[in-house]
Amino acid sequence: MAENLGLKEWPVKKIRRCTSSTDAKMTIQYTFPSSSKILDIAEELSKNSKDENINTLLRLLFAVVKLVKQIHNMKWLMVDLTGKYVFIVDKQEIPKALMVRIGRMHSLPQECDIQEDSIIVNQDLQDMLYWLPKEVIGHNELSCGSDVYTMAMLFYEVFSVLSGRDRLDCVPFGNKHKSKLLEHLIDGHVPEKPELCPSWLYEEVMLKCWDLDRTSRPHVDEIISLFSSKLDSSDASLTSASGSTCSYKGTDQSSPHRGEGYLDVVANSSVSSQDHDDYHKPLEDDEGHYEIINENFLQHNN
Is 276 a domain residue?
no
β pairing state of 31-32 and 271-272: antiparallel
Residue 211 lies in a domain: yes
Note the pTM of the prediction, 2 decimals. Answer: 0.76
Asked, for residue 67, whether it belongs to a domain, the answer is yes
> Are the C-beta atoms of residues 38 and 64 closer than 8 Å to each other?
yes
pLDDT at position 195 is 93
Residue 7 lies in a domain: no
Instruction: Note whether residue 153 is domain-resident.
Output: yes
Q: For the chain, how many structural domains are there in total?
A: 1
Residues (pLDDT < 50) of the chain are: 236-299, 301-302
Q: At 174, which CATH number? A: 1.10.510.10
Structural domain for 182, as ranges: 37-253
pLDDT of residue 278: 35
Mean pLDDT of the chain: 76
Quick check: is 282 in a domain?
A: no
What dihedral angle (degrees, nearest 10) is formed by the CA atoms of 243, 266, 279, 45? Answer: -60
Q: Between the CA of residue 109 and those of 22, 73, 86, 106, 112, what are the distances in Å?
A: 30, 12, 26, 10, 5
* 20 occurs within a structural domain: no
Q: Is residue 74 part of a domain?
A: yes
Q: Residue 68 — φ and ψ, nearest 5°?
A: -60, -40
